[in-house]
A and B are shown apart, each in its own frame.
Chain A
Amino acid sequence: MIKNVLLVDDDSEMLHALKEGFKKYQESFAVVLAEDGLQALERLKSNLISLVVTDLKMPHMDGFELLAHIMVHYPDIPVIIITGYSTPEMEQLAREGGAVGYIAKPFLIENLARQILTTLRKESEGGTLHNVSSGMFLQLIEMEQKTCTIRLEDKTSHKKGILFFNEGELFDARVNNMQGKAAAIEIFSWDAVNLSIQNGCALKENKIQSDLQALILEAMRQKDEDQPEEVPEGVMEQMEQGEEAPADLLKKLKERIENQIGQQCGLEDLYQDEFWDNRVAQLSKTGEFFHFGRLMLAYIDKGDTNDYILIPGGKTTVITVDPKCPRDKILRVISE
């Protein structure tokens, strides 16, 4: 798993020199750049950062403020200070603030790289695993009551996340902009992951307060719900794409319903009618508002002698059916 190192310095030449110099270490870590503390906070939100290397004197938010922020919000991320205005007092302040390293400018890129590599190695001191199911592995951690920090990468989306365990209890999780329960559920929905284990957990407070099993189940449930029903391209798709469905397409659909359900399907008529277009558009918008995706079908009971099944398209396709028809079966056949 390639780790991300965030380099923060308002001297853009320095930043780019470091980026160039670190190219030969690209198999061990990648660099993310920020020109001040505020930009660094944005990068921390959107990337899973393993280590921060920061200058002290910067506009907007200086290195000490950034260090303090990291210690509170990302206590798992080690920080190395680089500065051109080094004094023993400053070094003492940085160390007391939680920095794991302090390097005065000018320095050799190799020296900084060595310190970065040594620090990063601690991230996987507990071992690394490839292609494992996160749910199963994490239940083991719970059973063994381990205290550790686990960094994971989803093999499919390449998203990276981090989990904090204290004596087998899940204390917190982080992925992209998410934190806590939501982040844990997102991580548990990943089918196959690569992960590295670091012994120890920088968090002392349980921010999740929830049973691991319950979170894993919730992740599975949400994943099932988000799975769109796969509808193979069929008569319905052809109707939706075309301005007007040819008579033989309508005939095919009618035959399919009658063949699969039988004569008792209650199908009365099948035609296209612009009268419904505006209504269908309004109903579609409601689904979009709730992020339900495209409207596939609508079943309408107006209390008339017939009920209506609508298929959205260039022109709305209308199927009139007997109100006593097996409506769920018909809807299923049409969607197949």
Chain B
Amino acid sequence: MTDMRKLFKDILSTKGVKGIMLFSFSGDLIFKEFISPVNGEPGQRDWRFFIESLEDMRETDLVFEKGRIYIRKTEMGYLVVLMALFVPIAMIRLNCDILLPAIRQSKPDRGFGRFFKKK
């Protein structure tokens, strides 16, 4: 989790960004970090329908009356960035471009190593 936090540090420190969530392709919330309090408890919500609605989308930018949600497909699932309307979206896109390879590297290990402790 600390690694994830480090990974998303630049996005989270952008003025107006409210939080980040990372979902698996099956709708499980893998990681969440909020800068300002958000309504409800995202960890308690069933996100499956939302994730299904993103099927075959590579990048989605949603503009609401009072905020914006940017969604980016990664190798682990979908990265969802919540922000205020004034946030420069190009900056968020650029940050995502930069960190996507790192997300790929932080994928869970598939070898035997994942069963054993490292010396």
| CB of B64 to closest CB in A, whole Å | 4
Given A282-B53, A328-B90, A295 and B40 touching (CB < 8 A)?
no
Among the listed stretches A88-96, A298-306, A314-322, which one makes contact with chain B, having 4 or more residues with CB under 8 Å of it? A298-306
Task: Evaluate contact between A225 and B84: CB separation under 8 angstroms.
Answer: yes
Task: Evaluate contact between A290 and B67: CB separation under 8 angstroms.
Answer: yes
Chain B's closest residue to A222 (CB) is: B36
- Using C-beta atoms within 8 Å of the partner chain, give the interface range for chain B: 20 to 34
CA distance A224 to B52 in the complex (A): 34
| CB of B43 to closest CB in A, whole Å | 12
Task: Evaluate contact between B62 and A301: CB separation under 8 angstroms.
Answer: no
Chain A's closest residue to B70 (CB) is: A299
Task: Evaluate contact between A302 and B57: CB separation under 8 angstroms.
Answer: yes
Decide yes or no whether B49 CB sits under 8 A from chain A. yes
Decide yes or no whether B112 CB sits under 8 A from chain A. no
Q: Which of B42, B57, B63, B82 has the most A CB atoms < 10 Å from its CB?
A: B63
- Using C-beta atoms within 8 Å of the partner chain, give the interface range for chain A: 20 to 34
CA distance A292 to B87 in the complex (A): 14
| CB of A115 to closest CB in B, whole Å | 44
CA distance A297 to B67 in the complex (A): 11
Chain B residues in 8 Å Cβ range of A303: 58
Task: Evaluate contact between B60 and A301: CB separation under 8 angstroms.
Answer: yes
Chain A residues in 8 Å Cβ range of B85: 225, 229
Chain A residues in 8 Å Cβ range of B52: 282
Task: Evaluate contact between B39 and A289: CB separation under 8 angstroms.
Answer: yes
Chain B residues in 8 Å Cβ range of A300: 57, 59-60
Task: Evaluate contact between B53 and A278: CB separation under 8 angstroms.
Answer: yes
Residues 37-80 (chain B) with a chain A CB within 8 angstroms: 38-40, 42, 45, 49-50, 52-53, 56-69
Chain A residues in 8 Å Cβ range of B45: 289
Chain B residues in 8 Å Cβ range of A291: 38-39, 66
| CB of A74 to closest CB in B, whole Å | 26
Task: Evaluate contact between A285 and B50: CB separation under 8 angstroms.
Answer: yes
Decide yes or no whether A46 CB sits under 8 A from chain B. no
CA distance A328 to B93 in the complex (A): 12
Decide yes or no whether A287 CB sits under 8 A from chain B. yes
Per-residue contact bits, chain A 277-289, to B (CB 8 Å; 1 contact, 0 not): 0110011011101
| CB of B42 to closest CB in A, whole Å | 8
**Other-chain contact of A295, B16, B59, B62, B90 (Cβ < 8 Å):** B62
Chain A residues in 8 Å Cβ range of B69: 286-287, 290, 292
Decide yes or no whether B89 CB sits under 8 A from chain A. yes
Task: Evaluate contact between B53 and A296: CB separation under 8 angstroms.
Answer: no
**Other-chain contact of A293, B57, B65, B82 (Cβ < 8 Å):** B65
Task: Evaluate contact between A294 and B50: CB separation under 8 angstroms.
Answer: no
Per-residue contact bits, chain B 5-34, to A (CB 8 Å; 1 contact, 0 not): 000000000001000000000000000000
**Other-chain contact of A292, B56, B61, B67 (Cβ < 8 Å):** B67
Task: Evaluate contact between B66 and A226: CB separation under 8 angstroms.
Answer: yes
**Other-chain contact of B66, A293, A301, A331 (Cβ < 8 Å):** A293
Chain B's closest residue to A279 (CB) is: B53
Task: Evaluate contact between A302 and B53: CB separation under 8 angstroms.
Answer: no
Which 8 interchain pairs have the tightest Cβ spacing?
A: A293-B65, A292-B67, A282-B53, A292-B64, A301-B59, A299-B61, A287-B64, A293-B66
A→B interface (CB under 8 Å): 224-226, 228-229, 278-279, 282-283, 285-287, 289-303, 327-328, 331, 335
Q: List 20 A-B contacts (CB under 8 A).
A: A225-B16, A226-B66, A286-B50, A286-B69, A287-B62, A287-B67, A290-B67, A293-B64, A294-B65, A296-B64, A298-B63, A299-B60, A300-B57, A301-B57, A301-B58, A303-B58, A327-B61, A328-B90, A331-B61, A335-B63
